[in-house]
């Protein structure tokens, strides 16, 4: 399997779009303030926009799709001619495979946990003038950690794909129908 430029561009685009969504989710986290209820003496939490949950889930889905494509194309490091031999390309492919998966799982955990926690809203819990109400919000930096791990996953996926294709082809690219054909003789030298 030779390295394919369209596959690399798809993987890169999906990771970068997921990164943009993760940064957008960090910027649009929900904020809350305690507001008294106009009908009784209770207080409740009034939350701002919930867009970061959607952004985080979009980044989660795009990153998952990219990882499926990488592992589908490379057949998840299980098959291939060059992966049987113990070469430096095979060792690099295994190292980058593990790195890609660890950074992917970390990014997915941050994005999914951040989306779930951001979607959680506290209901009525306090009495006006009584106990202080604590509005649950997402901590700063959860989506930022997911964005950083998304970039690490991008680097790991590209390096894994490159090392896997080198190990699978033995370091040589397959070329077909290139150059001058030297096997046929011109018709003018044939004997009559």
| Distance separating alpha carbons of residues 50 and 17, to the nearest angstrom | 20
pLDDT band at 181 (very low <50, low <70, confident <90, very high): low
Q: What is the mean pLDDT of residues 142-170?
A: 92
Q: What is the predicted pLDDT for the residue at 49?
A: 77
**Maximum C-alpha span of the chain:** 114
For the chain, the average pLDDT equals: 83
Q: pLDDT by residue (tens digit) across 69-108?
A: 999 998 877 776 657 777 888 889 999 999 999 999 999 9
The DSSP 8-state label assigned to residue 176 in this structure reads: -
| Distance separating alpha carbons of residues 107 and 142, to the nearest angstrom | 10
Name the CA dihedral angle for 120, 124, 130, 131, rounded to a multiple of 10 degrees: -20
| Distance separating alpha carbons of residues 2 and 8, to the nearest angstrom | 12
For 54, 162, 177, the CA distances from 174, given in Å and listed in that order, are 43, 15, 10
């Amino acid at each position: 399997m030779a390295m394919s430029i369209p596959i690399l561009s798809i993987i890169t685009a999906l990771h970068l779009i997921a990164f943009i969504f993760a940064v957008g989710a960090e910027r649009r986290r929900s904020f809350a303030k305690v507001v008294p209820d106009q009908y009784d003496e209770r207080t409740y939490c009034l939350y701002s926009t919930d867009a970061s949950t959607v952004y985080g889930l979009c980044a989660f889905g795009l990153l998952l799709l990219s990882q499926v494509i990488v592992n589908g194309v490379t057949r998840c490091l299980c098959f291939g001619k060059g992966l049987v031999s113990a070469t430096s390309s095979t060792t690099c492919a295994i190292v980058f495979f593990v790195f890609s998966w660890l950074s992917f799982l970390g990014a997915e955990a941050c994005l999914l946990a951040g989306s779930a926690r951001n979607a959680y809203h506290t209901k009525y819990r306090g009495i006006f003038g009584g106990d202080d109400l604590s509005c649950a919000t997402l901590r700063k930096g959860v989506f930022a950690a997911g964005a950083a791990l998304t970039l690490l996953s991008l680097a790991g996926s590209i390096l894994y794909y490159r090392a896997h294709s080198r190990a699978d082809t033995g370091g040589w690219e397959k070329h077909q129908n290139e150059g001058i054909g030297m096997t046929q003789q011109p018709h003018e030298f044939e004997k009559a």
